[in-house]
Chain A
Amino acid sequence: MKVLDPTAEAAAVATASAPPLADLAGARIGLLDNGKIRVDRFCDFAEEILRAEYGVADVVRRRKRNASAPAGGDVLADLLACDGVISAVGD
């Protein structure tokens, strides 16, 4: 008896992680807030630590309008200009 594969065989797309940043000093870091309660506070702490302890030069704060949907094009464009991005998921 032959049976067919039920999965999306062609869906696997090869992706690779970006190389880690060599140094955070002087870097521009994006902080993406998924819009849920208290993520803004988490991001406040993260920004403070990034600036004070790691010498991050610039922090770009953006917030998703809907936690269950992808970030909009304008938000992504701003984050693409960063050296690294932290996606903060409050739940």
Chain B
Amino acid sequence: MGTRRFEVADGFEANALFGRNGWTDGLPIVPPTPELVAAALETALLEPDQILGVEPVRGLAITAEKVAVNAVMAGCRPVDVAVVAAAVEAMCEPAYLLHGSAASTGGSAPLVIVNGPIRTALGLNTGANALGGGGPNAVIGRAVRLVLINLLGCRPGVLDQSTLGQPGKVSFCLAEDEDAGPWLPLAQERGVPDGASAVTVLACAPPRQVMNEWTTVPEEVCDTFAAEIRANMCGYSIWPGNYVLVIPPQLRSILVAAGWRKADVREHVWRRARVTRRQWREWGKGALADRGDPDQEFAALASPDDLLVVTAGGAAGGFAAVIPPWLGNRARAVTKGIGLCLDCNPKEERRP
């Protein structure tokens, strides 16, 4: 490995060195020794020089070894690194808008949603406190953030110009609770074969939590979700994009009992998550309300499929979360298989 090495006396000195150089997120790191990094690469079946992706705007190649260094620093075990690598790969797809979202004043964070058997193999948290850390979710999300800091220069006030930022920037990794109900997991809905593991990444705003414990009517449950999206459209961003809807067991059980599938949720929210131009006036944005036809309608979702429905969370509580897209402006969710190629043709690859 040709990576530059530093000699330090111990973990404290390593932390001092990394902190001084601006190589951390402010939290302590696990010193990335050559042995730990080599073990991570070996477990993830990655070559050190393997390019996981190229950031499309500045053409920065991101190698597996550098990702592994940052994953070790974040506290990842060797088995966690394949998830981090897949997330980085996905974020380098042009559709994700990595440079724009990482640099934006709009305060986006990279959300990583994990599906498939790897969730249970790694012990990812899909239950109580699903959006609040716990399990290896915390270190996987943190590793992605350290990659942004160290490999793309996304330091606050430098490339990262977020006006406020958000807690999701520290770590934002969600795993779907696939075992509790009849609904198809997100990754399978997005073309990943049953039995395979995958990540879906999206540049997004912070979660907006809602609560409705006063109904068993599926339309009313989904109206609560749509109303929160409308609030986001007026308060934060009017642009359509991929919204994520996280539905815990209590509200999910109402929908399932009524025979609703994820597709029914998407259809209902797609129809209801719309605002007219005049509504901006109530939000102190009269200048925008006056820029065109007051009855002009804006939809949060260009199509029902733009809503990503994920089941996760603790058993009790009529809560759910809407996670809006970062300013909703053309950045898209990207799904990548973990350790598998979803869209390549093995016969083509074997050609000399």
Interface residues of A (CB under 8 A from B): 1-9, 11, 66-70, 91
Contacts and interface: CB of A to CB of B under 8 A. Distances in A.
A5 B73 CA distance: 11
Contact of A1 (B31, B66, B70, B331): B31
A2 B69 contact: no
A4 B37 contact: yes
Given A11-B60, A68-B100, A4 B33 contact: yes
A11 B69 CA distance: 16
A91 B105 CA distance: 8
B104 interface: yes
B23 A2 contact: no
Given A1-B31, A68-B97, A6 B23 contact: yes
A6 B32 contact: yes
B44 to A, nearest CB: 16
Interface string B91-124: 0000001011100110000000000000000000
Contacts of A5: 3-6, 69
A4 B37 CA distance: 9
Contacts of A6: 18, 23, 32, 66, 69-70, 73, 146, 150-151
Contacts of B342: none
16 contacts: A1-B7, A1-B14, A1-B33, A2-B7, A3-B8, A3-B18, A4-B34, A4-B37, A5-B5, A5-B6, A6-B23, A7-B151, A8-B60, A8-B150, A68-B104, A68-B330
Nearest to B3: A4
A2 B37 CA distance: 11
B-side interface size class: 35 or more
B6 A9 contact: no
Contacts of B150: 6-8
Interface of B: 1, 3-11, 14, 17-18, 23, 31-34, 37, 57, 60, 62, 65-66, 69-70, 73, 97, 99-101, 104-105, 146, 150-152, 327, 329-331
Of A1, A3, A5, most B-chain CB atoms within 10 Å: A3
Chain B residues touching A, majority SS: mixed
Given A1-B9, A2-B6, A69-B57, A8 B151 contact: yes
Nearest to A69: B100
Given A6-B69, A7-B23, A91-B105, A1 B10 contact: yes
A54 to B, nearest CB: 30
Nearest to B11: A1
Contacts of B4: 4-5, 9
B104 A4 contact: no
A91 B32 CA distance: 39
Contact of B32 (A4, A8, A69): A4
Of A5, A8, A68, A69, most B-chain CB atoms within 10 Å: A68
Contacts of B3: 4-5, 9
4 nearest interchain CB pairs?
Answer: A68-B100, A5-B4, A6-B150, A6-B69
A9 B331 CA distance: 28
A8 B329 contact: no
A25 B60 CA distance: 38
Contacts of A11: 60, 151
Given A1-B31, A3-B18, A4-B69, 8 more contacts: A1-B11, A4-B1, A4-B33, A6-B73, A7-B151, A8-B62, A9-B4, A66-B330
Contacts of A67: 100, 329
A4 B62 CA distance: 16
A70 B97 CA distance: 10
Contacts of A4: 1, 3-6, 32-34, 37, 65, 69
A5 B105 CA distance: 29
A36 to B, nearest CB: 10
A68 B23 contact: no
B128 to A, nearest CB: 33
Contacts of B104: 68
A72 to B, nearest CB: 13
B69 A69 contact: no
